[in-house]
Amino acid sequence: MEKREKLYEGKAKVLYATDDKDLLIQYFKDEATAFDGKKKGVIEEKGVLNNKISSAIFKMLESNGVKTHFVEQLNDREMLVKRLRIIPVEVVVRNLIAGSLSKRLGIEEGTALSEPIVEFFYKSDPLGDPMINEYHARAFGWATDAELKEMSATALKVNEILSRFFDERGIILVDFKLEFGEHKGKVLLGDEITPDGCRLWDKTTREKLDKDRFRRDLSRSEPTGGLGR
């Protein structure tokens, strides 16, 4: 597989073309950002870990019937993925109250939900990824009803699989973000699934094991801080 020109560089990843028009190389960076890029830093080997974590999770999801853009892990920092037409609607699944939901509703962080909540956000860094609903997505042509339905159903299925997976390892899956895209007429799960886009808490101590450690400058003593999404 020949690596060609850079097509896109985001906050955490770079996408490169290949000699196959249907396949891209996704490179994971060590840069860390929070609060829509207002806070920046570098975490050594973060890209290596995120590539390995995301590759392992994509493989597990594929084995459970979830269709993703993942093809194979190429090396420590790169994976081969299918080229997607990105649907600009991010899907967030919440199992406990945390982040912006706690701030929006004034409910204590860590409060359990009676059932998972699915939320939609418009994928736009300049606007801070504002929360939207199905009406916005349809009216602005960001996603169709069929796509929204499939994305929601897939997100809930991923939630079941990952919640069980992490629970067996003593970790609570508090919430997570997913991105989707279209490839040859099919909606596939894309982007990555890593602690950058998930809230993960220790089941016993409730210690945060995810990007909130960077957002809130957490030491091992767990001071509180501002709420992210």
User: Are residue 177 and residue 103 in the same domain, yes or no?
Assistant: yes
Residue 109 and residue 48 share a domain: no
- How much is the pLDDT for 39? 64
What pLDDT is recorded for position 224? 40
pLDDT at position 112? 95
* Whole-number pLDDT of residue 34: 62
Quick one: pLDDT at residue 38?
63
Tell which of 39, 55, 82 closes a domain.
82
Give the pLDDT of residue 213: 74
Looking at residue 35, its pLDDT comes to 59
Task: Please count the structural domains in the chain.
Answer: 2
Task: Look at residue 223 and tell me if it is in a domain.
Answer: no
What per-residue confidence (pLDDT) applies to 84?
98
Is 227 a member of any domain?
no
Q: Which residues constitute the domain of residue 56?
A: 3-82
pLDDT, residue 68, reads 98
Could you tell me if residue 186 is inside a domain?
yes
Per-residue pLDDT at 227:
41
Query: Do 75 and 90 reside in the same domain of the chain?
Result: no
Which of 21, 47, 82 is the last residue before a domain boundary? Answer: 82
Last residue of a domain, one of 82, 102, 134: 82
Q: Are residue 116 and residue 27 in the same domain, yes or no?
A: no
Same domain, yes or no: 73 and 97: no
Same domain, 51 and 91: no
Is 222 within a domain?
Answer: no
CATH of the domain at 73: 3.30.200.20
- Let me know whether 106 and 162 are in one domain: yes
Same domain for 72 and 93, yes or no, is no
pTM recorded for the entire structure: 0.89
Residues 57, 151, single domain; the answer is: no
Ordered per-residue pLDDT tens for the chain, 229 residues: 899 999 999 989 999 999 999 999 999 999 877 655 566 788 899 999 999 999 999 999 999 999 999 999 999 999 999 999 999 999 999 999 999 999 999 999 999 999 999 999 999 989 999 999 999 999 999 999 999 999 999 999 999 999 999 999 999 999 999 999 999 999 999 999 999 999 999 999 999 988 787 766 765 544 343 345 5
- Which residues, 6+ apart, have CB-to-CB distance to 211 below 8 Å? 32, 34, 195, 196, 197, 228
Looking at residue 171, what is its pLDDT?
97
78 and 89 fall within a common domain: no
